[in-house]
Amino acid sequence: MLENLKKEVYKANMLLPKYNLVMFTWGNVSGIDRENDYVVIKPSGVEYEQLSPADMVVVDFKGHIIEGDLKPSSDTLTHIELYKAFPNIRGVVHTHSEWAVCFAQAGKDILAAGTTQGDYFYGSIPVTRKMRKEEIIEQYEKQTGSVIIETFNKRQIEPDQVPGVLVNDHGPFTWGDSPENAVYNSAVLEQVAKMTYHTMQINPDEIEMSRDLLDKHYLRKHGENAYYGQE
Amino acid sequence: MLENLKKEVYKANMLLPKYNLVMFTWGNVSGIDRENDYVVIKPSGVEYEQLSPADMVVVDFKGHIIEGDLKPSSDTLTHIELYKAFPNIRGVVHTHSEWAVCFAQAGKDILAAGTTQGDYFYGSIPVTRKMRKEEIIEQYEKQTGSVIIETFNKRQIEPDQVPGVLVNDHGPFTWGDSPENAVYNSAVLEQVAKMTYHTMQINPDEIEMSRDLLDKHYLRKHGENAYYGQE
Amino acid sequence: MLENLKKEVYKANMLLPKYNLVMFTWGNVSGIDRENDYVVIKPSGVEYEQLSPADMVVVDFKGHIIEGDLKPSSDTLTHIELYKAFPNIRGVVHTHSEWAVCFAQAGKDILAAGTTQGDYFYGSIPVTRKMRKEEIIEQYEKQTGSVIIETFNKRQIEPDQVPGVLVNDHGPFTWGDSPENAVYNSAVLEQVAKMTYHTMQINPDEIEMSRDLLDKHYLRKHGENAYYGQE
Amino acid sequence: MLENLKKEVYKANMLLPKYNLVMFTWGNVSGIDRENDYVVIKPSGVEYEQLSPADMVVVDFKGHIIEGDLKPSSDTLTHIELYKAFPNIRGVVHTHSEWAVCFAQAGKDILAAGTTQGDYFYGSIPVTRKMRKEEIIEQYEKQTGSVIIETFNKRQIEPDQVPGVLVNDHGPFTWGDSPENAVYNSAVLEQVAKMTYHTMQINPDEIEMSRDLLDKHYLRKHGENAYYGQE
C-alpha cells in the first residue's frame, strides 16, 4: 500500500543525516496521500541506519495506524494538524537542527537578513508563542500543530510562501510540495538561522534586508514570473 | 574474565571519536560488574585507533588492578566514586568535549533551554564548585568524584534523572544504565551545551524552558508513562 | 567550441563543493575568452554532482547564448559587468559562503585583521552600498555588477589587488587571473571572514593590522619583489 | 642525507591537514639535527598532497640550502631563530589555524582557562608585541623569531613548559621535542584557543583556572612525578 510514497518518505528521511540536520533519532519526515488523507511517516525512535521503506507507518487523519508494524513518530499528530490546515503541502519535516533550535529556544524569529533566505522564504521565519500549561498537558502533539497554525493566521503569513516555523523552546517544522522539498526547506532554514545569528553579532542594528530586495529574490524563483533554474 | 563487559566498554570507548567527543586520548569510558564491584576501564593515554577489548583494565573499588597489562585511566578513582554513590548506574564517561568544557571553564550550569535537553536531562546540568587546594593536592581524582557527589546532594538533584555534570574548570562526566548509554548522554550533553551557548547569545534574558514543558518532554520518554520509541 | 575553457570552468565549479563554499546550487564560476569576449559559465540551478564540462554555457557580452542547451546562471550579467570593467581578470565566482554572507548581511567590510588576509588581499574587502529600488527592479543582475564597480571606483580600490567584494545583503563575488584562482580567492575570503568575525568578538577595539605589515605580506607574494613559493 | 629526519619532518607536515590545522599551503613543520645544526623544513608554497620526503629542504643556521631542489619555506629564518634560542626543542610548527589566528589578530593571550590547556601548557599562551616598522622592513622573518624570544625572556616564560606562542596579527608557532610533538602542541593550542574563546563569551569575569589546579594537571603529565600514560 502506497509503496511509492513510502519510498519517497524513506528517501526524504535519509536526507536528514546527509544534510546534518539530525543527531540520533531526532527528526522525522512524512508525506501525504491527499486522495485518502493517509499520512506516511517515520516510525518512532528508530535509527536512520536501520530504516527501510517498509518500516514507514501509514496513519489516517486521526493518527490511527492503517498499516505498519511499528509505532509512528511521536510527532505524528503535529504533522497531521499541518496537513489539515495547509492544503497545498505534501511533505512535513521536524528536526532538532542546531541553529534553528537556538532561535526557537531564544524565542526569536529568524529575520530575513539577506537574499539566501529571500530565495526560499518570503519574509521572516516566525517563532510561535510559548505553549500554555493546558496545551502541554492535554493533547500536546496536536496542540503543537495548533499553535503553529495560530501563528500563521494571527500574523497573516502565507504557509506556501514561508514554508517553516520555530516552535518555541522546541525546534523547527518545515513543509513543502513533496517530502523531499520539505527537507530542502529544512536545510535552508538551518543555514539561514546560522547566518542570521552571526549577522546579529556583527551588526545588531542592521539585520533585515529591504522589502524590494526580498520581492526581487523571492519572486525571481517563485510564482509566474520566475526565471531561475532550467524550467 | 568479564569478556563481555570488556567488549562493551571497548565499543563504548570507540564511540567517543565517532561522535566527535574526543581529541587524541582525552576521554575514557568504564563499565561495572555490580556483582563483584569490578570496574572495567580504558587504559591511560592509549590512542583509540590502537585499542582492543583485551586492553581494557579491570580494577576493584580501591582502584587496584585485578587484571590487565596496562595502567588504567588516570581518572579511574573518579569513576569509582560515582559507582559507589550512584547505585543504579552501570557506565561512566569522561571527555573534554569542547562545548561542555566551555561551560565547565566558565563555571556555569547548562540551563534547560529547550526540549532537546528536556528529553534526556530533567533540568539543568550542574557545574561543581571549584575544588579546594587540599582536594587538588591530596587524592585529586577521588576528590573530583566527591565534589560531583556533593553537588548532587546539596542541590538535591537525582543522578538518574540528570545523568551528567560539569567539573569546574575541567570538563564533563556523564553516566547511564550501560557504558553505551553513558556515551549517548555525553553526546547529548555536548549538543545541548552548544545550543544553550548560542541561545544565550541571542537572548540572554530568556533561556530556561517552562517547568511544564520540561515535565512533558522528560516524562514522555522516561518513567512509567513514557510513550516515545517502540517499547 | 572553447573546450579547454569549458573544462577549466567545470573544474573550478567543482572546487566550490570541495572547499565547502556552496550548499545545493548556490554558487557559480565563469571564465572568459578575451579574444572573442565570450564568457563560459555554469548553467542555472543545476546540482554540482550532475554537471559535466559539456553543460557549460557560452554567452557573449550581451548575455546571449552562443552555445549550450541549458540556461546560463541567473547571475551571468553580473559576471559580464565585472569582465567588462576589470580588464585583467579571467575568472569570476559567486557563492553564498556562510561567513562572507554574514558580513554582507551586516553591511560591514572585512577589515584586514592579519597576515592571512594580507597575503591575498591588499587591504579590506569592501561591502557595496545597498542597491536602490530602481536598480533592483530594472536589470537587477547587471546593476549588481555596476554597484560593485562603483564601490571600487569611489573607494579607489584596485580590483587586481583586492580580488573580491561583498554585495550588500547578498553575498561575495571574487575574481582572479583564472577561474581556479578566482575560486581560491573565494576560499580565502571565506576563511578570513570567519577569522575576522571572531577577532571582532575578542577585541573590537583592535582589529586592523598595521599598514607596514600589510605591505610586507602582500608584496612578498605579489609584484616584482615577491619571494614566496617556487618561482 | 638525514633521510630519517626528512621522513619524520614529512610525516609531521602531513599531520597538519589531518588535524585541520591548514588550508592550502598555509603551514610548515621543521626538524633539527642538533649535531650539525642542520634544519630540515617543508619547501615553500608546495601543496601537501604533492609533498614527498625527498622534497624536504636541508638548510644550515644561516638559512643556506645544504641539500634540496626546492626553496625552503619563507618562514625558515623564524624557525632557525627558535632553534638557536631554545636548546631543547627539536621540532617547530607554523600554521594559520583559525582560532589561534583570531587571538593573534586580537592581540590577546590564550589564558589558561581549564585543565585541557594545563595538561600541555604550564600557563597562558602569550601573544607577542606588534612588530616595529624597521623589524618588518628589514629581515622580517628573522625578526619574527626575535620578537618571540623577547616575549619569553621579558615575561620569564620557560619555552619547554609553554611550547607555543602567537605572533601578533599573524598566527601561532609551536615547538616540541620532535616535529610530531610540535604538531601535537599545535593541535592542542588550536583546540584550547577555541574553548577559551567561548568561555570568554559565557563568562568574561571568570576565565583563568587556579594556580593549584594548573600545577596539578601540568605536573601529573610532565616532570619527575608524572603519572599519566603508560610510562
Tell me whether strands A91-95 and A27-33 are parallel, antiparallel or unpaired.
antiparallel
- The pLDDT, as a whole number, for residue A71 is 97
Q: Is the pLDDT reported for residue A85 higher than 80?
A: yes
Work out the pLDDT band at D145, boundaries 50, 70, 90: very high
In this predicted model, what pLDDT tens digit does every residue of B149-191 receive, in sequence order?
999 999 999 999 999 999 999 999 999 999 999 999 999 999 9
The answer to whether B210 contacts chain A (CB < 8 Å) is yes
Q: Which of C114, C201, C229 sits opposite D169 (nearest CB)?
A: C114
- On chain B, the residues whose CB falls within 8 A of the CB of D199 are 102, 105-106
Contact B221, B229 (CB under 8 A): yes
Q: Which of C203, C212, C215 sits opposite D106 (nearest CB)?
A: C203
Mean pLDDT (whole number) for B66-76:
97
DSSP string, C149-174: HHHHHHTT--TTTS-EEEETTTEEEE
Active site residue A119: yes
Catalytic residue among C33, C109, C119, C169: C119
Residue C15 pLDDT grade (very low, low, confident, very high; cuts 50, 70, 90)? very high
Chain B touching partners, 3 or more CB pairs below 8 A: A, D
**For B183, how many CA atoms within 13 A lie in the half-sphere containing its CB?**
24
Q: Which residues pair with B127 in a beta bridge?
A: B166
Which residues in chain D have their CB less than 8 angstroms from residue B131's CB?
A: 213
B226 pLDDT band, cuts 50/70/90, is confident
Residues of D forming the active site = 119, 228
Nearest to A203 among C74, C108, C130 (CB): C108
C-alpha distance from B186 to closest chain A C-alpha (Å) = 13
CB proximity under 8 Å: B 79-118 to D? 96, 98-99, 101-108
Q: Express each pLDDT in C164-199 by its tens digit.
A: 999 999 999 999 999 999 999 999 999 999 999 999
Which residues does residue D43 pair with via DSSP β-bridges, in sequence order?
D72
The alpha-carbon gap from C70 to the nearest alpha carbon of chain A, in Å, equals 7
**Contact in structure between A39 and A80 (CB atoms under 8 Å):** yes
CA dist list (Å): A118 to A115, A219, A223, C27, C130: 5, 9, 14, 16, 15
Determine how many CB atoms are found less than 10 A away from the CB of residue C31. 29
Q: Which residue of C has its CA nearest to D22?
A: C191
Question: Taking the C-alpha atoms of D3, D8, D14 and D16 in order, what is their torsion angle to the nearest 10 degrees?
Answer: -140
**Mean local confidence (pLDDT), A122-126:** 98
pLDDT tens, C115-141? 999 999 999 999 999 999 999 999 999
Could you tell me which residue, A135 or D223, shows the higher pLDDT?
A135
Nearest to B170 by CA among B194, B153, B145, B188: B145
**D189 neighbourhood in chain B, CB within 8 Å:** none
* Contact assessment for residue D89 and residue D177, using Cβ atoms and an 8 Å cutoff: yes
Mean of the pLDDT values across residues A94-111?
98
A127 chain-B contacts, CB cut-off 8 A: none
- Cell numbers found for residue C150: 562603483
Residue of B nearest to D217 (CA): B136
Query: What is the number of residues in chain B?
Result: 231
Percentage of chain A beyond pLDDT 90 is 94
**Dmax (CA) of chain C:** 54
Q: Reply yes or no on whether the pLDDT at D228 is more than 80.
A: no
Contact of A65 with chain B, judged by CB distance below 8 Å, is answered with: no
Question: How many CB atoms are closer than 10 A to CB A213?
Answer: 23
Eight-state DSSP code of residue B131: P
Helix (H, G, I), strand (E, B) or coil at D108: coil
For residue range A168-192, list pLDDT tens digits in order: 999 999 999 999 999 999 999 999 9
Q: What is the pLDDT of residues D179-217, one digit of tens each?
A: 999 999 999 999 999 999 999 999 999 899 999 999 999
Question: Does the CB of D23 have a partner CB in chain C at under 8 Å?
Answer: yes
Question: pLDDT exceeding 90 applies to what percent of chain D?
Answer: 94
Residue D88 or C227, more confident: D88
Q: Which of A55, A109, A119, A169 is catalytic?
A: A119
- The predicted pLDDT at position C231 comes to 65
Pairwise CA distance, residues D157 & D151, whole Å: 8
pLDDT for D133: 98
Alpha carbon of A227: minimum distance to chain B alpha carbons (Å): 36
The predicted structure's pLDDT at residue C206 = 84
CA separation for the pair B121, B215 (Å, rounded): 10
- State the DSSP H helix or E strand holding residue A176, giving kind and residue range, or none if neither: strand A171-176
Strand arrangement of the beta sheet that strand C57-59 belongs to: C65-67, C57-59, C38-41, C27-33, C91-95, C171-176, C164-167
Give the burial class of D117: count Cβ atoms within 10 A of its Cβ; 0-12 exposed, 13-18 middle, 19 or more buried.
Answer: buried
Contact B113 A105 (CB under 8 A): yes
Q: Are A21 and A187 in contact (CB under 8 A)?
A: yes
From the candidates B55, B109, B119, B160, which is the catalytic residue? B119
Q: What cell numbers appear for B88 in the block?
A: 543504579
Contacts of A218 in chain C (CB under 8 A): none
Q: What is the pLDDT of residue C223?
A: 81
Which chains pack against C, by 3+ Cβ pairs within 8 A?
A: A, D
Grouping H, G, I as helix, E, B as strand and the rest as coil, residue A55 is: helix
Does B24 contact D at CB distance below 8 Å? yes
Phi, psi at C66, each rounded to 5°: -95, -35
Q: CA D219: distance to chain centroid?
A: 21
CA C38 to chain centre: 18
Q: How confident is the model at residue B211 (pLDDT cuts 50, 70, 90)?
A: very high
Q: Which residue has the higher pLDDT, B221 or A84?
A: A84
If you average pLDDT over every residue of chain D, what do you get?
A: 96
Q: How far is A74 from chain B (nearest CA, A)?
A: 6
Search chain D and give the residue with CA nearest C220.
D74
Is the per-residue pLDDT at A231 higher than 70?
no
Is C222's Cβ below 8 Å from some Cβ in D?
no
Residues from chain B that touch A130, judged by Cβ atoms under 8 A, are: 210, 213
Cβ neighbours of B24 in D, within 8 Å = 184, 187
Does B223 score more than 90 pLDDT?
Answer: no
Q: Do residues C28 and A228 lie in contact, with contact meaning Cβ atoms separated by under 8 Å?
A: no
Q: Looking at residue D49, what DSSP letter applies? A: G
Residue C200 contacts residue C188 (beta carbons within 8 Å): no
Q: Cα–Cα distance between B106 and B129 in angstroms, integer? A: 11
C25 touches chain D (CB under 8 A): no
Closest CA of chain C from A54, distance in Å: 28
> Confidence band (pLDDT; 50, 70, 90) for D231?
low
Q: Report the gap between the CA of C218 and the closest CA in chain D (Å).
A: 12
The string of pLDDT tens digits covering residues D57-72 is 999 999 999 999 999 9
Please state, in angstroms and rounded to a whole number, the distance separating the CA atoms of residues D174 and D89.
Answer: 10
Whether C218 contacts D174, CB under 8 Å: no
Residues of B in contact with A106 (CB under 8 A): 199, 202-203, 206-207
Mean pLDDT of A20-24: 97
Name the neighbours of A, counting chains with at least 3 Cβ pairs within 8 A. B, C
Say how many CB pairs under 8 Å bridge B and D: 83
> Which domains are seen in chain B, by residue range?
3-221 (3.40.225.10)
Which among B71, B98, B136 has the least Cβ separation from residue D194?
B98
* Distance (Å, whole) CA C183 – CA D94: 25
- Residue C121 DSSP one-character state: -
Nearest-by-CA chain D residue for B47: D229
B225 CA: distance to closest CA in chain D (Å): 37
For chain D, say whether C191 makes contact (Cβ under 8 Å). Answer: yes
The complex's ipTM works out to: 0.96
Rg (CA), chain C: 17
Q: Which chain D residue lies closest to B98 (C-alpha atoms)?
A: D195
In DSSP terms, D59 is beta-bridged to D39, D65
How confident is the model at residue A86, as a pLDDT? Answer: 98
Enumerate the residues of chain B whose CB falls inside 8 A of the CB of residue D187: 23-24
User: Quick one: which of C196, C181, C144 has its CA closest to C165?
Assistant: C144
* Side-chain-side CA neighbours of residue D167 (13 Å): 31
D143 touches chain B (CB under 8 A): no
Establish if A220 touches chain C: CB-CB under 8 angstroms: yes
Q: Does B169 touch chain D (CB under 8 A)?
A: yes
Return the pLDDT at B231. 65
Contact by Cβ (8 Å): A34, A62: no
At residue A199, does pLDDT exceed 80? yes
Model confidence at C107, in pLDDT bands (50, 70, 90)?
very high
List of residues 6+ apart from A53 with CB closer than 8 A: A3, A6, A7, A9, A10
Contact of A194 with chain C, judged by CB distance below 8 Å, is answered with: yes
